[in-house]
Amino acid sequence: MANAISNTPANVQPPLAATGWGLIAGNGRFPFLVLEGARQQGIDMAVIAIKEEAAPELASEASRIHWVSLGELSKTIDLLHKEGVKQAVMAGQVKHNKIFSSIRPDWKLAKLLFSLTTKNTDALIGGVAKILEEEGIQLVDSTLFLKPLIPEAGVLTKRAPSAAESSDMAYGLDIARKISGMDIGQTVVVSGGACVAVEAMEGTDEAIDRAARITTGRSAETPLVVIKVSKAGKSGQDMRFDVPVVGLPTIEHMQRACATALAIDAGRTLLFDRTKLLEAADAAGIAIEAFPPPVAAEPSHSSMGTAKIVGTTETAGTNKK
């Protein structure tokens, strides 16, 4: 019997269910943008906001909001069930170094932490996602409601990178994709063909600040280039969490550091406040270019079809002007 043929074009997203949506909110503008994007599609989300991270102003944007501590995984799940949530979006940073804080995990989170041999982002958030799925709650692509903020490949600013900046970008992209693939960080800072700083738990902006301190006194002709990538080079970026984000604060840190250019992954980077961000970059003379993420080699026939192929579709960011 022939398969039914859909009349929906391949590039058009099918309508989303109007009910059963939840948002697990961390810090920054990400949660606000997700709520706004969902509302534009007629979706009212129940919000579970993390006390130690989420902005208090989130309460005025959500029709239903519950506040939980970072360690309260069981309470979070109970609240999601109470609100009838079947699909959830994680949006907003939760600083990784909080695992070293005095926050006490409940029994469910403690059990997860005890079971992990490594406590990097993939392991921690991936473990939470698995628990949610076991509870009947699907964690979905965090950029689902923010596709306009995801850039295509190309130069995004009025100024294109110089030859020296392009050389540093090429060198830095190779390094950044390797360290990102090991779940160390997503950002490196390069100057004159040398890797100056590698991001770890401190985050992109602090890595930029550190690079500025290290390169104090460099000549004006020597660029300082920031490279921020996804994990496409490893096994494919999990768009449910840990999506690379660039916002106005990053441009401000770059300007203070006298950084001259920014390279990002097209299709896998979110650019918040895109118009203002690009205007700020132009005003500061910062060149921004988005590069297609690498595609993993197609598996050989001997691999029995078990290898995962990473495509270049689905990028996050506000890249196109």
Structure tokens at 60: 């005025």
Residue 316's pLDDT is: 37
282 pLDDT higher than 50? yes
Domains of the chain: residue spans and CATH: 21-139 (3.40.50.20), 147-303 (3.40.140.80)
Mean pLDDT of the 115-120 span: 79
Listed residue (37, 36, 32, 40) closest to 49, CA to CA: 32
The pTM of this model reads 0.76
Q: Is the sign of the CA dihedral 33, 146, 40, 138 positive or negative? A: negative
- The encoded tokens of residue 169 equal 């970008």
pLDDT at 171 over 90: yes
Report the pLDDT value the prediction gives residue 99, as an integer from 0 to 100: 58
Residue 151 — pLDDT band, cuts 50, 70, 90? very high
> How would residue 148 be classed by pLDDT, with cut points 50, 70 and 90?
confident
More confident residue, 300 or 220: 220
Q: Which residue has the tokens 């939760």?
A: 94
**Which carries the bigger pLDDT value, residue 16 or residue 290?**
290
pLDDT at 11: 45
- Sorting pLDDT into bands at 50, 70 and 90, what band is 137? very high
Tokens coding 198: 């590698």
pLDDT tens readout for residues 207-263? 999 999 999 888 878 899 999 987 654 455 567 777 888 999 999 999 999 999 999
CA proximity to 119, closest of 144, 140, 100: 100
Q: How confident is the model at residue 13 (pLDDT cuts 50, 70, 90)?
A: low
* Residues with Cβ within 8 Å of residue 303, at least 6 apart in sequence: none
* 3-state DSSP assignment of residue 138: strand
Mean pLDDT of 253-280: 94
Mean pLDDT score, 140-159: 92
- Average confidence (pLDDT) over 52-62: 93
Among left, alpha and beta (phi > 0; psi -120 to 50; other), residue 131 is alpha
Mean pLDDT of all residues in 291-320: 44
Round to the nearest angstrom and report the end-to-end CA distance of the chain.
47
Confidence category of residue 273, pLDDT binned at 50, 70, 90: confident
